[in-house]
Every structure is written in C-alpha cells, then in structure tokens.
A and B are shown apart, each in its own frame.
Chain A
Amino acid sequence: MTNERTAALLRAIASPAAAAAVAGGWIALYVTVAVFVGDPLEIYVLAMKSDLVLRAASGGSVLVVLAYLVATTIERARASRIEAALRFPLEAGLWLLVASMCASTAVREIRWGIVGRGNPVPIPWSAVGYTVEAIDLPLREVVSESEPPSHLLAYAPHVVLRAVGGETVLVGAWPPANAHGTRFNILQFGIAPIMSISRESVVVAAGPVMQRLLPPGVEDTFDLPDLPYEFRMRLEPRPRSGPGAPLSYDLKDPTYLLEARLDGRRVFSGSTSNPVSFEGLTITFAPPVGWVWLQCVSDPTRSAVIASLLIALAGAPTYLIGLLLRHLRLRAG
C-alpha cells in the first residue's frame, strides 16, 4: 500500500499537470510582480540571498520539472528512442541553466573594489589573503582608431596578486583566474590624470583624478572639492600624420581636451598640452597613473551555468530534428 501511494505521489509529481502548475505559477508571479511591484528578477536575486521560503520553493519547483523531464523522456523513448535522444539535450540544458542560475543567486558571494599596487585584497569567505604585487595596464605609447579589435577584449590589463604564503595569481579581464575557490577578474580599468591646480602660485589641489576616458573619444566629467567648476575631459588625438590618416592617441603621456564650466557657462575650453589657465587658476598635468577595478567571486555553480549554456546551444538544432522526425512519424502512422 505504501509503495502504491509512493508510486502515485511520484506519478503526480512527474505529471505534465504538476510541471505546468509550477511553470504557470512562476510565470504568474513574475508577471504580477513586474506589473505591480518592480523588476521581478532583481527582487528575486535579492530575496534569494536570505529568504528560505523562496529558496525552498525554487528548489521544489526545479525538482518537479526535473521529474517531469525524466518521465517525459522515458515516455518518448518508448515511442522512439532517437527522437527522445535528440530532444533531451535542449530540455536538459535549459533545465540545468535555470537550476544552476537559481542556485547561483543563493550561494554566490561577490566583492569588488578599486586597487592599486601594494593594496590588500580582502576576501571575507576565504582564509587566503592577497596583496596586489603589480599592475600592468595596456597603456601603449600610441593607439590608433584604425586598429582592428582583437577578439572580444579591446584591452588586456593584468594584475599580479600575491598570497600570504607566497603564491602568485595572474589576473586578467577574462577568463577569470581561479585560486582557492575564488575567481578574480578585472571589470574595468582606466587612467587617472595627475593634476596640480594652483592659484597665484599656491597649490590648492593636487593628485590623480580617476576618469573613464577609454576608448579614446569618450568624455567624462569631474569636479574638485572647494572649486565651483564642472570639468569635462577627453583624450586629445595626436596631429594626423597626413591627410586621411587615422587618429592616434598617446596613452603613456596623453594630452586632454578640457572644458571648464561655471553655472553652465563655459569658462575654458582647450588642450592641456600647455598648462591651462582661466579665472586666476592654473592647472598642470603629469603622466597619468592607472586604476583597476577588481572583482572577486565565489560561485560553485559557475561551471554548471556554463555547461548548461553549451548543452542548450548544442541541443537546439538536434531538438528541431527530433520534432521533424516526430512530425514525419505521426504523418506516416
């Protein structure tokens, strides 16, 4: 009797009705939250960090869909093993993607911050501590706008981290470097022009100002404490080598096109190739230093997410072939 009840329960869990109820329930919840509350995925991600009920509901739903997927595949295999085998990878890949993404939102730990040489890199979830030993920025002397982009990454900055025990980790932009269960990568980098601002030969402010000026041509803005101006800045191209020649930029020791505004009125606009002067102020520029935005992630589900994406992508064409075979079988039979 107990076995019969268990079998009936398993059949109910693996039934299309249960899978449809679970999927429909989540869709209804998603749409309701989207219409009346806000971004459902954002709310879900935040809630999964701490809400046990939501975690249990997500885990239960994933298991119900898995049971349905297994039962359906067995059922299909009775009619045609080839069709079942062709349709399984896409469905399994999508299931694994959803399951691993749900798990990822619950267990992922992430920290990021700006680091410079000698800075510690604190990682709360790891016993291994790191220090930034070196930063290698791709600030070549000259870059040209006509250079074709290399693969997916336009720049290749690197950071060397040294663990307390002496082990070093070379971290680039992508793929992330793995060390002791933590994956590191550089999210962003940039240059920080070093400025010295003086009034009547008295320096009123000096130091690096972090800017997003790459790729060349991009403009960024900043202001400085105790000064009423808004500054806009972008890299200044070098003089063209000839008519129609592509623009090029010196990233080692760049000059900038600077604009200063006071209450929306432009008070200065020009190149920084010479010291800039306006309204009694003088600004001089020294070669910039680099800054790096380092990301540290602990996510045991990462491999499953990547695997699921690959399985689903590979399974999409075979799924279509499986559907075609089913169509032909039904027409013939």
Chain B
Amino acid sequence: MWAAEALGVGLKEGAKLGLVSLLVVAWARHAVGDGARRVALSWFAAGLAASAAVSAASVLIPITPATRLLLPRITGYVFFLFYASAVAILGFGGGRRDASAGFAAAGRLAGPLVGISTLAFFGPAAVGSSMYLRELSRMREAALSVYAAASVGFAAAPAAVWIVARGRRLAFGRDLGAGQFLLLLALLELLVGGRKGFGSFSLLPAVQEGSITFVHNFVHMVFMVIQVPDHPLVTTSFWNSVNTLFSAHAGEVMAFGIVVAPVAAWAYGRLSAPFEAAALPPGPERRMRIAEARTRRRRETAPAAIFLAAVAGTWIFGADQISSVLHLPDIRPVVAEGGRVRIPLDAPGFHPADGRLHKFAVRLEGGDVVFMVMRRPGGGIATMLDACAMCPPEGYGVSGGHVVCIYCLTPIPAETLGEAGGCNPIPLEARMTPESIEIEVRHLAERRRLVDRGRS
C-alpha cells in the first residue's frame, strides 16, 4: 500500500510537470512572439530547476505540525493567485489578451516574473511531496523502495504526456488567451496541489475551511452587533440551526460556489452576449458571421467548461475527502500574569460554547507551551495540553467532527476530552469563572515537563 502511495505521489507531481509543460509550450508556440517565447521558455525552465533545488533542499526542513499546516496553505495561496489573475483577466480582457503585448509591457521583468511564477507554482507542492515521502520512508523504514517507487511515477507521467503530444501542433494554444491559460494552470494546482498521496489530491478542502471560518466569524460579528445572547439563554434548536452554517457540508457548498461562480458567470456572459453581426440585415452573411462568432466563443470558453467540469467532478466524487479535511486551529499567543494564564470567555473570535477546538500558546521557561480549550458536547469546558499521553507531542487537529491526534490520526471522542488515558490529550486543571478560564502557570509547566521527559 505504501509503495502504491509513493508511486501515486510521484505520478501526481510528474503529471503536473508534464501537463503544465505541455500547456506552456502550446501557449508559447501560438500566443507569444518569437523573442518573447524564448524568454518565457528559458525562464520557465529556470523556475523548474529552482523548484527541484528547493525540493531537494527541503530535506533540511524539520517536519513539524507548523510546516504541515503552512505548506498546504502556501499551495492554496498559489492557486488563489493564479485563479484570481485568471478571473481578473477574463473579466476585463474578454477572454483574449495578446500575450506578446503583455510581455512587451512587462519589459525586463517579464522573464523573472515567469520564473518566479513557475517556482511558486511547483515549489511548495514539491517540498510538500518531498516531506511526505521522507515521512513515509521513515515510517516504513524503507527509504530506497519509497523513493524508487516515487521516481518511477515521477518519470512515467511526463513521459506519457510527451508520447501523446509528440509531433502534434498543439493547436489548442491558439485559443488560449492569458486568462484561459492561467485558469487551466489554476485548475492543475487545484486538482493536484495537495501535499499527501491519496489523501489530499485536491485543494478544495482549504477553500472549504476558509469559507467556514469566514462565515463563522462574520456571523459572530453580526451577532455581536445585534446583541444575540449566549447559550443557554438562546434555545439549543436555534443554536443548532446557526451551527449548520458552519458545518462541513455548508462549507463544501460555499467552497464550490466560490470556486465555480466567477468562472461560470464569465462563461455565461461571454456565450450569451449579443452578436455584433445581429445588426446586419437577415441573410447568409449574417448567419455565417454569427456562426463564426459562436464557434469562436465556444473555443474561448472551452477552458472554463473544462475547469467547471473538473471542479464539479472533484466536488461530487471527492465529497467524503473534502469533509474529512484535517483542520489545525490557529494558535493564539497568551501571556501569564500573576502566576496564571487567563483566557477571557468572550475574546474576539473565541467562545468555548461554539464547540470548536481552540489552541493557545504561553511562553514558559524559554519555550512555548500549547494548550487547548473545547466545550464538550455534554457540557463543561475541557482544558488540555496540545500533547498526547502516548505519542510524540505533535498535537491535535480536527477532522470530520472529531479531535484527531496528528501523529497517529486516532479520533478522540469529544465527550471524553479532559479525561486522562489512551490517546486523549493530557488534561489540565482549570478554574472556570463566568468571565474566564484560568490555568495555573506552575501546573502548566509541570505537565509540560512530564511530556518532555516522556512521563505524562
């Protein structure tokens, strides 16, 4: 299974390389003038080389929960940059933008811009995959086999693309405006930008997570303005109704809408706009010019159709994966005063009654101690170290409604939080007041020292 997973990671990265190269060559061949083409292709190659170098150098980066969290975020950010650029160009360029003119306008910056874009496109995902292979090889204690399987996959995919494209004119490049070109690149990043093997091929979970967070915070702000009281003053049924807005399924729908709506709106607007030739008197010429224009529009909107179909397919067939994304809550720094760490119950963006996992870090004895607060479904607030009593202290995330140990991926039933034992987070004693949660610094430090010594 692990060999297939390593092969899959290699295939994924190889397919991305092959398809993007194909797209770049086709676009450069038909949409860019000779001089600009040379510049574009050489800087593209330089960007690929830099990505490979960064990926190789990433063996020096320690694998921590923070890097695990950061890499998919960067990959998602790259998708956002390509996607937003595509939407902006499509919206204001009508789908056609002369690439040669763009290169001329950018002047000497054009080449480096291509190189940096290439590095941004390939670099983070390559580093992520490299780290993932490193973890896989350590867990299986079979580095040679893991890297061999990944290498086979990495070489096979571009070779397959090359065999299929060899000798072809790649005429589809003619219909690619800059917007469509960037949209297809964004699609590739969206579909194969994930860090892991079979588990996270798509970036939609990141969009889903962001959507849920935005809606949650926005609703919280509106509730603050209209002064909605706290649970249990408000009925549980009302609170549950509000919570459906923050559910994984609502997040799926929002993520789908956010990714699909701008492109669908552009394609619809392009296809449904009135034809200039419609002003001509009825006759064969009018019909011919309208037919030509319609064909041209269909070709221009074909990348948008591919994008929409691919995203819809990912959404429909990958729904389980999307809703089971591992979410790592942001860690909020707090300061100890008077020998206690005090967490106000109504700090902005934080309320334990929301049932979400909240993480805090306090600096003690020269190091950060991360602890967690979460309301149990049966009531009561659980306060815990962000460390397991059994596994290496990598902390916890949330997936599919469960608190999950990041190291061993064991789901922890929320109603058992605050209880010691098994893979449960190490409980902390806390003093609850109606306004805050207070934890003794001495107690935090003691528990943390036990973890450091492996005697939790």
Q: A residues engaging B (CB < 8 A)?
A: 16-17, 20, 24, 27-28, 30-32, 34-36, 38-39, 41-42, 45-46, 101, 104-105, 108, 110, 112-114, 149-155, 157, 173-176, 183, 185-190, 210-212, 214-215, 217-223, 230, 232, 234, 264, 291, 293, 295, 297, 299, 301-302, 305-306, 309, 327, 330-331, 333
Contacts and interface: CB of A to CB of B under 8 A. Distances in A.
A215 B238 contact: no
B236 interface: yes
Contact of A222 (B232, B378, B432): B432
B235 A149 contact: yes
Contacts of B29: none
Contacts of A230: 429
Nearest to A192: B434
B107 interface: no
B233 A173 contact: yes
B274 interface: yes
Contacts, number: 150
Contacts of B92: 16-17, 20
Contact of A31 (B80, B224, B346, B380): B80
Contacts of A114: 434-435
Contacts of B73: 35-36
A42 B349 contact: yes
30 contacts: A24-B88, A35-B73, A36-B77, A38-B330, A42-B348, A101-B221, A112-B346, A149-B237, A153-B235, A174-B227, A174-B233, A175-B227, A186-B233, A187-B229, A187-B233, A188-B434, A190-B434, A210-B433, A214-B232, A219-B380, A220-B379, A220-B381, A222-B431, A222-B432, A223-B429, A264-B427, A293-B435, A295-B227, A301-B225, A302-B225
Contact of B226 (A188, A212, A305): A305
B272 A327 contact: yes
B304 to A, nearest CB: 18
Interface in B228-252: 228-230, 232-238
A154 B234 contact: yes
Interface in B415-447: 420, 427, 429-435
Nearest to A217: B379
B348 A45 contact: yes
B432 A154 contact: no
A155 B378 CA distance: 19
A218 B225 contact: no
Contacts of A234: 379
A264 B432 contact: no
B295 to A, nearest CB: 20
Contacts of A157: 233
B217 interface: yes
Nearest to A150: B235
B410 interface: no
B213 interface: yes
B236 A215 contact: yes
Contact of B233 (A39, A112, A176, A189): A189
Nearest to B331: A38
Contact of B77 (A32, A152, A222): A32
Contact of A297 (B80, B227, B237): B227
Nearest to A224: B431
A45 B427 CA distance: 33
Contacts of A27: 84
B380 A152 contact: no
Contact of B234 (A31, A36, A153, A291): A153
B439 to A, nearest CB: 11
B223 to A, nearest CB: 11
A45 B220 CA distance: 12
B84 A221 contact: no
A108 B225 CA distance: 8
B298 to A, nearest CB: 18
Contact of B432 (A151, A153, A220): A220
B416 to A, nearest CB: 13
A152 B84 contact: no
Contacts of A101: 221-222, 225
A174 to B, nearest CB: 6
A176 B228 CA distance: 9
Contacts of A309: 222
9 pairs of A and B residues whose beta carbons are closest in the complex: A218-B379, A149-B235, A219-B380, A41-B217, A42-B349, A173-B229, A188-B230, A154-B235, A35-B77
